[in-house]
Amino acid sequence: MISPALPELPDGVTVTALRDLAVRLATAAGALVREGRPDRVVVAATKSSEVDPVTVMDRASEELLREMIAAERPDDAIMGEEGDDVPGTSGLTWVLDPIDGTVNYLYGVASWAVSVAVVAGPPEPATWTVLAGCVHSVADGRTWSAGLGEGATRDGTPVHVGSATSLGASLLGTGFGYDAERRAQQGRVLAQVLPRIRDIRRLGSAAIDLCLLADGSIDVYYERGLNPWDMAAGAVVATEAGAVVTGLRGGPAGNAMTVAGPADLVAQLAEILEAADADGAGLAEIP
Ligand code: IPD
């Protein structure tokens, strides 16, 4: 695994300390959301479409994360799924998904997580360097974390991507957006991919998908339409576990496409996705 170069950090700051804080933040918010989950979760609002929900606990989780960051790292910026960006002066930004897998949380399906990452540089996946991240799968307590150059762990034990070398034998994770037209396009792309792999899993949390890739529970992953907070922490866990995390046509991972896995599988999958125009490079962008 070759980690990106470590950018200059503010005085007295280490990757290890940032990683420890990411773990503390994610587990504290996880405890809040687990304990506060009512028997019947209701939708507080919808966002990009009528099937893109926000619950009261998404908001409460993000509020707690923001309060803890303001108390411990007041000069850092914050970018979170459920609130306005907060500017900072340190050059570091915390990227927060207070509940990744909100539809699972709503329905009581046990695959949702609090995802916390800290990045250097402009808070945009194409240009940032993720310094540390934690994905805490709240329902079963599994906690993945990574620090740049430190490797990745699940519950403290080092993890590594799986050993599949052929795409045909690979279990593939993916996900779908909330926009109906986008989903129709994703279905057409999946029809090209499905005959060429072992099977797919659609587990409903991109952050967990990237961590399952990191510990070899799935072999390869792709998704179009990820937001920065869906992928920041999972991407550093995956890369520190030996994965390549990239876009198509030589571009970086991001909203247009994120492909992750061992380098040889990513190359094979990218070829199929490019031929299927999975990133819509030739099509008008759907928000
Ligand atoms: C969603 C999940 C899902 C992915 C969607 C994301 P949310 O995040 O990560 O797995 O397929 O693209 O938007 O809305 O639950 O935070």
**DSSP codes of every residue in 55-109:** EHHHHHHHHHHHHHHHHH-TTSEEEETTS--B--SSSEEEEEEEEESHHHHHHT-
pLDDT for residue 155 is more than 70: yes
Q: What is the pLDDT of residue 2?
A: 64
Q: What is the pLDDT of residue 179?
A: 93
CB atoms under 10 Å from CB of 62, counted, come to 23
pLDDT for residue 47 is more than 80: no
Cα distance between residue 125 and residue 104, in whole Å: 25
Q: What is the pLDDT of residue 286?
A: 45
Who lines ligand 1 at CB under 6 A?
Answer: 81, 97, 100-102, 175-177, 204-206, 223, 225-226, 230
Indicate which residue's Cα is closest to atom 12 of ligand 1. 177
Residue-wise pLDDT tens digits, 160-179: 999 998 999 999 999 999 99
Indicate which residue's Cα is closest to atom 11 of ligand 1. 175
* Ligand 1 midpoint to CA 169 (Å): 26
Overall average pLDDT of the 141-168 stretch: 97
Strand 43-46 versus strand 143-147 pairing type:
unpaired
Overall average pLDDT of the 147-165 stretch: 97
Q: What is the pLDDT of residue 287?
A: 43
Give the confidence band of 200 by pLDDT, cuts at 50, 70, 90. Answer: very high
- Tell me which of 100, 107, 115 to substitute to probe ligand 1's pocket, judged by most ligand atoms within 8 Å of the beta carbon: 100
Distances (CA, A) of 12 to 8, 121, 273: 11, 18, 44
- Structural contact between residues 231 and 206, judged by C-beta atoms closer than 8 angstroms: yes
Overall average pLDDT of the 114-133 stretch: 93
pLDDT for residue 191 is more than 90: yes
Overall average pLDDT of the 195-202 stretch: 98
pLDDT for residue 5 is more than 70: yes
Give the confidence band of 188 by pLDDT, cuts at 50, 70, 90. Answer: very high
Cα distance between residue 232 and residue 247, in whole Å: 14
Q: What is the mean pLDDT of the chain?
A: 93
Cα distance between residue 1 and residue 244, in whole Å: 9
Ligand 1 atom nearest 102 alpha carbon: 15
* Ligand 1 midpoint to CA 138 (Å): 16
Model-level pTM?
0.94
Q: Which of 209, 264, 269, 271 shows the shortest CA–CA distance to 242?
A: 264
- pLDDT > 70: what percent of the chain? 95
Q: What is the pLDDT of residue 282?
A: 62
Ligand 1 atom nearest 81 alpha carbon: 16
* Ligand 1 midpoint to CA 9 (Å): 31
Q: What is the pLDDT of residue 284?
A: 47
Give the confidence band of 51 by pLDDT, cuts at 50, 70, 90. Answer: low
Write down the number of H helices and E strands in the chain. Answer: 7, 14
